[in-house]
Amino acid sequence: MSAEIDTNKQQNMRRVAMTSLAGTSIEWYDFFLYGTAAAVIFPKAFFPQDLPPMVLLIISFSTFAVGFIARPLGGVVFGHFGDQVGRKRTLVIALMIMGVATTLIGLLPTYQSIGIAAPLGLVLLRFIQGLAIGGQWGGAMLLVTESAPDHRRGWYGAYAQAGAAVGVILANLAFLSVSASMSDAAFMDWGWRLPFIASIVLIGISLYVQLRMEDTDAFKALQAAQADSGAPAEVPRSPVLEAIRRYPRRIMLAAGAFLSVQVTFYILIAFVIAYGLNSPSVDLTRDEMLMSVLIAAGVMVPAVFYFSGLSDRVGRKQVYRWGAILTGAWGFALFPLVDTGSPALITLAVTMGMVFLSMQYGPQAAYFTELFSTEVRYSGASLGYQIGAILGGALAPTIAVLLWNELGIVYVSVYILIAAGLTLWSLSQLEETGGRAL
């Protein structure tokens, strides 16, 4: 009987893990898809064409940043309900909102059709995407880590984390495959909409989670304990405010621990492409640069799983710390390798950067889970993650461009190093949590 119970638990754990990976992959696909379209499609489709091309590009990219602004708000809103009504229900709502918003972007009329309403609608839908991604990470991450055995929480947390790399791959492949299957005119006219409309799949995944998944053991145990005591819930009104009251320092340190990942990740997937296409020493096409990022993201997926599992054996901070050290150092090798103009060396440069990021991003799900108590865990972990995202990721490519133009490319490497240093300091102020019971 006990063997049968163990088998059922393992099967349920695998189902939860794969559902988390699928949901986060398509969620991040939606979020990154917008970034590619903001560079290629949106300046021509959603804004008046009497403006200079560079101004149109800047305006288009500014709408991309709107998603980052909304992410902490999404963390607050979804964190509140995630700690009150459960991880599963809140994740389902976040997934459905993202699926609907991204599908609607694919159906949105252009500026030529509805005038100023087109960019206003685009900004609104991008803001909604940011809200959804702000709430999704906490739900997907807790659904898998709170269900995992204590000694394998890092490994199973990788299923939520690997979705970011898979999302990068899917978003780039979607545009490359659609554009290759039709003429440029057809792609610019209507073909670009297909990858966005495909996000309707996310609605189906959210329904599967609602119908087939149970909430996490930790959350159910909290509810049972409150019911047995006969006392009202420990956090009756606002888990978010309670998390801020109880863990203000820990939330900000978690955000600081995320800076190295966010700064370097967006430099690797966005700025490096722009640098490679505009640097006089690099003579590669856009597709060649994109292929380097695709290969690097592909390597990042198994790396995330390896280092997440390693954190179960040697501790979260040990793996995370070495990831920050190597990321900071690699920044000074990154651009000399890109300057060679060799596709193989550029791919190596981006790939090693992604591997070192995996040493931080992989263990992060389990680490942030273990930093906060169950009744405010969704709120606390989401706030730390999303504050770190907006501080580190929102302006990273823009800051990198300014440093490159004004001071030289080596100062972008210094920027990566400073972010790594802040992450190391934040980690030094946080305790080791590996294997902690929830």
Q: Please state the domain count of the chain.
A: 2
Asked if residue 387 belongs to a domain, the reply is no
190 plus 102 within the same structural domain = yes
Cα distances from 29 to residues 21, 168, 173, 199, in angstroms, run: 12, 6, 10, 9
Question: Could you give the maximum distance between any two Cα atoms of the chain, in Å?
Answer: 73
Cα Rg for the chain, rounded, in angstroms? 21
With residue 239 as reference, give the H or E element that holds it. Answer: helix 239-246
pLDDT greater than 60 at residue 235? no
255 plus 170 within the same structural domain = no
Angle between helix axes 201-212 and 87-107 (nearest 10 degrees) is 170
The pair of three-digit structure tokens given for residue 263, joined into one six-digit string: 């700064």
pLDDT at 1: 47
298 plus 332 within the same structural domain = yes
Asked if residue 377 belongs to a domain, the reply is no
Cα distances from 358 to residues 128, 178, 268, 304, 370, in angstroms, run: 28, 30, 13, 5, 19
Top-confidence range, 37-46, 201-210, 218-227: 37-46
203 plus 258 within the same structural domain = no
Q: What angle do CA 274, 324, 150 make, to 5 degrees?
A: 120
Asked if residue 390 belongs to a domain, the reply is no
pLDDT at 73: 85
The C-alpha atoms of residue 125 and residue 135 are separated, in whole angstroms, by: 16
> What CATH number does the domain containing 358 carry?
1.20.1250.20
- Condensed to tens digits (0 to 9), the pLDDT of residues 406-423 reads 899 999 999 999 999 999
More confidently predicted of 384 and 35: 384
The C-alpha atoms of residue 65 and residue 168 are separated, in whole angstroms, by: 17
Q: Which residues form the domain of 165? A: 10-237
Percent of the chain with pLDDT over 90: 34
Domain edge (last residue) among 185, 209, 237: 237
Q: What is the mean pLDDT of the chain?
A: 84
Dihedral angle sign, alpha carbons of residues 377, 379, 382, 387: negative
By C-alpha distance, which of 391, 382, 380 is closest to 423? 391
Domain edge (last residue) among 210, 237, 264: 237
pLDDT greater than 70 at residue 3? no
225 plus 83 within the same structural domain = yes
More confidently predicted of 219 and 157: 157
Asked if residue 384 belongs to a domain, the reply is no
pLDDT at 218: 58
pLDDT at 81: 77
The C-alpha atoms of residue 26 and residue 166 are separated, in whole angstroms, by: 8
The C-alpha atoms of residue 247 and residue 381 are separated, in whole angstroms, by: 10
pLDDT at 421: 97
Asked if residue 353 belongs to a domain, the reply is yes
The runs of H, that is alpha helices, within 259-342 are 259-266, 272-278, 286-314, 316-339
The C-alpha atoms of residue 154 and residue 367 are separated, in whole angstroms, by: 8
- Condensed to tens digits (0 to 9), the pLDDT of residues 147-170 reads 888 888 999 999 989 988 998 898
Asked if residue 3 belongs to a domain, the reply is no
Per the document, the length of the chain is: 438
The C-alpha atoms of residue 176 and residue 170 are separated, in whole angstroms, by: 10
363 plus 421 within the same structural domain = yes
- Condensed to tens digits (0 to 9), the pLDDT of residues 270-279 reads 788 778 877 8
277 plus 226 within the same structural domain = no
- Condensed to tens digits (0 to 9), the pLDDT of residues 248-257 reads 999 999 999 9
Dihedral angle sign, alpha carbons of residues 34, 35, 39, 43: positive
pLDDT at 29: 83
267 plus 187 within the same structural domain = no
DSSP at 236: S
pLDDT greater than 60 at residue 2? no
Are the CB atoms for 24 and 136 separated by under 8 Å?
Answer: yes
By C-alpha distance, which of 253, 262, 229 is closest to 317? 253
Q: Which residues of 72-108 are buried (b: 16+ CB within 10 A; e: fewer)?
A: bbbbbbbbbbbbbebbbbbbbbbbbbbbbbbbbbbeb
Asked if residue 350 belongs to a domain, the reply is yes
Are the CB atoms for 106 and 199 separated by under 8 Å?
Answer: yes
Domain edge (last residue) among 211, 237, 263: 237
Asked if residue 108 belongs to a domain, the reply is yes
46 plus 76 within the same structural domain = yes
163 plus 131 within the same structural domain = yes
142 plus 193 within the same structural domain = yes
Which residues contact residue 344 at a Cβ distance below 8 angstroms, ignoring those fewer than 6 apart?
A: none
188 plus 320 within the same structural domain = no
